[in-house]
Amino acid sequence: MSTISIKNLSFAYNGQDLLFDNVSLSLDSQWKLGLLGRNGRGKTTLLNIIQGKLDYSGKISANIDFEYFPQAISDKDNLTLYAIQDKFHVEQRELEKEFSQLQLDPKVLWQPFNTLSGGEQTKVLLALAFKNKNSFVLLDEPTNHLDAHTRQQVATYLNNKKQGFIITSHDRDFLNQVIDHTLVIEAQNIRLRQGDYARYEEQKAIEDKSNLAQNEKLKRSISQLKTSAAQKKNWARSAGREKENNSHADKGFITAKAARVMKRSTTMQKRIESQIKDKEGLLTNIETITLLSINFQTSHHQDILNVEKLTLAYPGYDSLFKPISFNLKQGQQVVLKSDNGSGKSSLIRARSRKVLVTKIE
Ligand SMILES: Nc1ncnc2c1ncn2[C@@H]1O[C@H](COP(=O)(O)OP(=O)(O)O)[C@@H](O)[C@H]1O
Ligand SMILES: [Mg+2]
């Protein structure tokens, strides 16, 4: 067991706002830690910082090697084993050992890397990331290309692992199966908790409820304060005007009075503005989601695509699937669903004619 200690971490990309502002955390290398947060909050950035790929201020110390997923494979046309060995020091049997736990056929090692399905590529790279039992693995969105079946295989694989890791994923159900701690980059905090994501959400919902009530109160009082600040500003302004416009006898008296009103009003306005600022600072940490609406009118009459008894085959290989027929009309939204490797992407690419298209009459 070893500790990854992050002290006073601050980081911003050039010319941008701080993504991390004085963050301190202590992580145990045996944890299975889910790293969560909306897109753009800095999950990938944090994984890069931990690996020492970015300059930051603060101190990160860890007495353990890191492995990162997804690793960059440069020569993707090469046979998978050679494409990997080109960049990483790993033996065939080390990969094959992990493959058996991932339920991956070792024959993929002898296929060009770029011909593997998304799920197969993911499994190969996971095997590579986990080959060294003493390292701590940083997994950035390994579920992206997985169908439901492969997702389950990967969840079981990660569940059975003894070693720890940090994982980011948008699939909550998947995460709940594999993690025992959560680190969430929230709107205003970074929060570390024991337990899975479901547990985090339960606690967050309770906090949100009380924060929401508190926020409503604060917003009402901020709006009252704003009205009051505007009023004081007006008073100061009209006292100023009175001072300027008055050309009558008792000018000295009126000017002195106007100056007093102006000063008092300005002081009150400043005080109220500072109260507004304090209260706005208390408005907390609730994620709001703006719903996306699409204003799109369509006719369901026009045919977009007619497919009749179509099957696809790569030269020298069997057909990918049994002949299919379907008809798509404008405005229809269709899910193309099947296991990895059964030909979804090939079907979408079919018109580019890189595959043999067979139309059976
Ligand atoms: N190399 C970069 N240069 C400048 N800004 C970047 C760079 N990489 C990411 N960002 C910005 O930093 C923020 C965090 O990005 P990222 O760490 O990828 O978030 P996440 O992984 O949580 O989606 C985003 O606003 C993103 O646009
Ligand atoms: Mg990311």
pLDDT on residue 251:
63
Which of 9, 11, 13, 169 has the most ligand 1 atoms within 8 A of CB, as the residue to mutate?
13
87: Cβ–Cβ under 8 A, 6 or more apart, which residues?
71, 72, 73, 74
Q: Which of 39-48, 118-127, 314-323, 338-347 has the lowest mean pLDDT?
A: 338-347
pLDDT on residue 11:
97
pLDDT on residue 139:
98
What are phi and psi for residue 246, nearest 5 degrees?
Answer: -75, 120
Alpha carbon dihedral 352, 355, 360, 361, in 10-degree steps, equals 30
Q: Which of 134-143, 180-189, 198-207 has the lowest mean pLDDT?
A: 198-207
Q: Using the mean position of ligand 1's atoms as its centre, give its distance from the Cα of residue 180 in Å.
A: 26
CB 78 within 8 A of CB 86: yes
Topology given in CATH for the domain delimited by 3-198: Rossmann fold (3.40.50)
Torsion-angle region of 343 (φ positive above 0: left; ψ -120 to 50: alpha; else: beta): left
Residue 262 CA to residue 285 CA, distance in Å, equals 38
CB 4 within 8 A of CB 29: yes
Q: Using the mean position of ligand 1's atoms as its centre, give its distance from the Cα of residue 17 in Å.
A: 11
pLDDT on residue 207:
81
If DSSP codes are grouped into helix, strand and coil, which group holds residue 66? strand
**Quick check: 360 pLDDT over 50?**
no
Task: Decide whether any atom of ligand 1 lies within 6 Å of the 20 Cβ.
Answer: no
Name the residue with the closest Cα to ligand 1, atom 24. Answer: 40
Name the residue with the closest Cα to ligand 1, atom 26. Answer: 40
Q: Which of 130-144, 253-267, 293-307 has the lowest mean pLDDT?
A: 293-307
32: Cβ–Cβ under 8 A, 6 or more apart, which residues?
158, 161, 164, 165, 167, 178, 179, 180, 181
Task: Decide whether any atom of ligand 1 lies within 6 Å of the 13 Cβ.
Answer: yes
Q: Using the mean position of ligand 2's atoms as its centre, give its distance from the Cα of residue 46 in Å.
A: 9
Residue 166 CA to residue 181 CA, distance in Å, equals 9
**Quick check: 291 pLDDT over 90?**
no
For the chain, percent of residues with pLDDT exceeding 70:
90
Q: How many angstroms separate the Cα of 153 from the Cα of each of 36, 146, 182, 243, 326?
A: 22, 10, 22, 81, 31
- pLDDT tens, residue by residue, 304-340: 888 888 888 888 888 888 998 988 888 788 888 888 7
Question: CB within 5 A of ion ligand 2: which residues?
Answer: 43-44
Name the residue with the closest Cα to ligand 1, atom 4. Answer: 13
Task: Decide whether any atom of ligand 1 lies within 6 Å of the 42 Cβ.
Answer: yes
pLDDT on residue 105:
97
CA 70 to centroid of chain Cα atoms: 15
**Quick check: 269 pLDDT over 90?**
no
Task: Decide whether any atom of ligand 1 lies within 6 Å of the 44 Cβ.
Answer: yes
Strands 32-36 and 181-185: parallel
pLDDT on residue 361:
42
Alpha carbon dihedral 181, 62, 123, 196, in 10-degree steps, equals 0
Name the residue with the closest Cα to ligand 1, atom 25. Answer: 40
The mean pLDDT of 96-102, rounded to a whole number, is 97
Residue 196 CA to residue 179 CA, distance in Å, equals 6
The mean pLDDT of 255-264, rounded to a whole number, is 83
Per DSSP (E only), the strands in 66-213 are: 66-69, 136-140, 165-168, 181-185, 190-194
